[in-house]
Amino acid sequence: MNRATIEDAVYTECPIRNILARICDKWSLLVIYTLDKAGKEAVRFKELQRAIPDISQKMLTVTLRTLEDDGYVTRTVYPEVPPRVEYTLTQRTYSLLPHINALTNWALEHKDDIIRDRKKACKK
């Protein structure tokens, strides 16, 4: 699938599916969450990779490019040797953060019950 074109075969004009498909993948929200935890400070690629140890370099690169393409992340390249690249959240993303934080808080509140229900379902 081309990361620049997210379309649903049946509902090609559905904005909800289109937007959620981009930010609700396996890594995007976690990258946004990690950048938010840095505050207004820019974060270098390797710092992000260390903060999310189970993401591959390729997947982090693809995720950051997708977030940049959609205007959630700003990428700044400094002309140094080796090149220094830093990432920050955009104003658009700061308007999204209360919703992400509400989802995170809900997940933390219900995590134990959900895991218990999963274990019960596995025993069936």
Please check whether residue 102 lies inside any domain of the structure.
no
Report pTM.
0.81
Asked whether residue 70 is assigned to any structural domain, the reply reads: yes
Convert the pLDDT of each residue in 18-58 to its tens digit: 788 888 888 999 999 999 999 889 999 999 999 999 999 99
State the residue range of the domain holding 53: 15-90
Confidence at residue 19, expressed as pLDDT on a 0 to 100 scale:
82
Residue 47 covered by a domain? yes
The CATH number covering residue 80 comes to: 1.10.10.10
Give me 99's structure tokens: 């919703």
Query: Which string of b and e fits 81-110 if b means at least 16 CB within 10 Å?
Result: eeeebbbbbeeebeebeeeeeeeeeeeeee
Whether residue 23 lies inside any domain: the answer is yes
pLDDT by residue (tens digit) across 64-114? 999 999 999 999 999 999 888 999 999 999 999 999 999 989 999 999 999
